[in-house]
Amino acid sequence: MPELPEVETVCRALRPVLEGRSLAKVQCNRPDLRYPLPTDMEGELKGHIITGIRRRAKYILIDFNHGLTLIGHLGMSGRVLIEPPSLFYMKPGPHDHVIFMTSHQYKITLRDPRRFGFLLLKPTHHLENLHPFCSLGFEPLGDHSLVASRFQAVLKTRAVSIKSALLNQAIIAGLGNIYACEALWQAKISPLRLTNTLTLEETKVLLKEIDDVLTRAIDAGGSTLRDHVQPNGNTGYFQHSLKAYNRANQPCVRCKVTLLTKIIQSSRATYYCRECQQ
């Protein structure tokens, strides 16, 4: 499933193509994905200027000048492809479910083989009051309210494993399994530690490493382990930098002695070093 860096990569690719432009055509090749597609999406969006593209957690938000926002989620296997006018001869594939044609002749395709992604159309000024946005926690990048003292205070109200807490979207939004494993490894914190045992200094280190992991992953175009492809068709390459995730029974690259362990937490695989992470 695309995580925050993969979604941010998509947003950054879409901005120079879509911001300040409008849609000339919206082609829906099926009536639904995870949910029914917005009713008369072409009629609602055609001709209106796109004023901004942003991300909240793992959601892509495309704002239009008439007060509507197109909300996109990539689900398990969704990807966004950007094709310039020179590639218009390419025929849609069997999983190209929604195609947007821009006023300057670019083609934006939502491709989703498993159809767990979705598109919703909502009033922009209501977003923060709507599910799921009303229940999302701290934004791990660029949220000035995410300081160690506040984060620690939230963690101290719970007695769950820190790994499970990092995957809880009501605590911190958008951080997925891959990057939670990596951040905990970098912070030298065991994924089994209970949230109410973390000191303020450990919390500061953890937030720093979360920021570092996500920033480096975005710069690398995300991680391509199965489905993620950047909008230009290239794969991400952060998977080549992973120090913990998917490295069970391989030596820890820090202590160089202990073999990394794989356990299951909250139905997700966790990878960590029993020696380095305490």
Q: Which residues are catalytic?
A: 2-3, 58, 268
Tell me the C-alpha distance between 164 and 167, whole Å: 5
Exposed e or buried b per residue across 205-220, where buried means at least 16 C-beta atoms within 10 angstroms of its C-beta: bbbebbeebbeebbeb
Q: How is residue 27 written in tokens?
A: 């082609």
Neighbours of 161 (CB within 10 A): 19
Q: Which amino acid is at 49?
A: I
Cβ contact 266:164 at 8 Å: yes
3-class SS of residue 209: helix
Tell me the C-alpha distance between 78 and 110, whole Å: 7
Considering all CA atoms of the chain, what is the largest pairwise distance in Å, rounded to the nearest integer?
61
Tell me the C-alpha distance between 36 and 105, whole Å: 27
Cβ contact 186:213 at 8 Å: yes
Task: State the DSSP string of 113-152.
Answer: SS---EEEEEEGGGGGGSTTGGG--B-TTT-TT--HHHHH
Tell me the C-alpha distance between 232 and 222, whole Å: 13
DSSP at 57: T
